[in-house]
Amino acid sequence: MRSRIVDALLDHLRTHGQPPESVEAFCRAHGWSEDDFRAHFASLSEAEALYWDNFLRWVVEAVEGGAEWEEFNARQRLLSLLFAFIEAVQDEKALVRARLNSALHPLLRPDYLAPFEARFRAFATRLAERGVVTQEIASRGPLNQFYPGAFALHLHSVLAFHLRDDSAENQRTDAFIEKSTNLLFEILREQAFDAAFDLARFLLVPAAGPSEARSGQQAPAAP
């Protein structure tokens, strides 16, 4: 029943590009009672989440189970994952376009992608640890916690590029994965990451001094 529910939901998503209006409507359309559904999932999101989590799990397990995985450095591991991921996307392009690509945006984070994200972060954390061991990535103490986020952003950029890529055999996607991964590792290894972090902190953390001065100037103008 569990897999029948997920399959039916995916069919709906493939056809309509968005989930059914409610669990009730969904169940009615398939001749199930809502209790049947609730026995397996608390919500439609939870059912969809299972699919995306499995989607990534298969990709990760496939690459981590590869004969040469243990010998790969972090860069090779990330490249393998991205190539395998794009290969998996191939079969479900419409679904990925509708439900994964737009939702991977860091500001959206819908519920149905939470397990997917958690699984990717776990992978990215292992990847960063590997990179520190192989000295491909500088260890920056507490800042290391930002690495998985950087890898997640990169994954999203690869996916976004791929969905627009109309080159023969998606050769441009392959080149993009290759070049952007090289750049990412250059950034994580070199000073650039530190400089970027320094700039980001400067821009994001409100500076007390000038804003006080400004409000001071505004004071006389306000009656």
Q: Tell the smallest beta-carbon distance from residue 136 to another protein (Å).
A: 12
CB of 161: closest distance to another protein in angstroms? 5
- Under rule CB under 8 A, residue 138 binds another protein: no
Is position 178 an interface residue for another protein (rule: CB under 8 A)?
A: yes
Q: Pick the closer one to another protein by CB: 79 or 155.
A: 79
Q: Which of 15, 35, 65, 68 binds another protein (CB under 8 A)?
A: 68
Residue 179 is a binding residue for another protein (CB under 8 A): yes
The site that binds another protein (CB under 8 A) totals a number of residues, namely: 25
Residues whose CB falls within 8 Å of the CB of residue 172, separated by 6 or more in sequence, listed in order: 161, 165
**CA-to-CA separations, 60 to 41, 90, 191, in angstroms, rounded:** 25, 16, 30
| Least spacing, CB of residue 83 vs another protein, in Å | 4
The DSSP line for 167-216 is SGGGHHHHHHHHHHHHHHHHHHHSTHHHHHHHHHHHHHSPPHHHHHHHHH
Residue that is written with structure tokens 């989590």 in the block: 53
Residue 119 binding another protein, by CB under 8 A: no
DSSP single-letter state for residue 108: T
List the x/- string, 9-48, binding to another protein by CB under 8 A.
----------------------------------------
Pair of tokens at residue 85:
């991921």
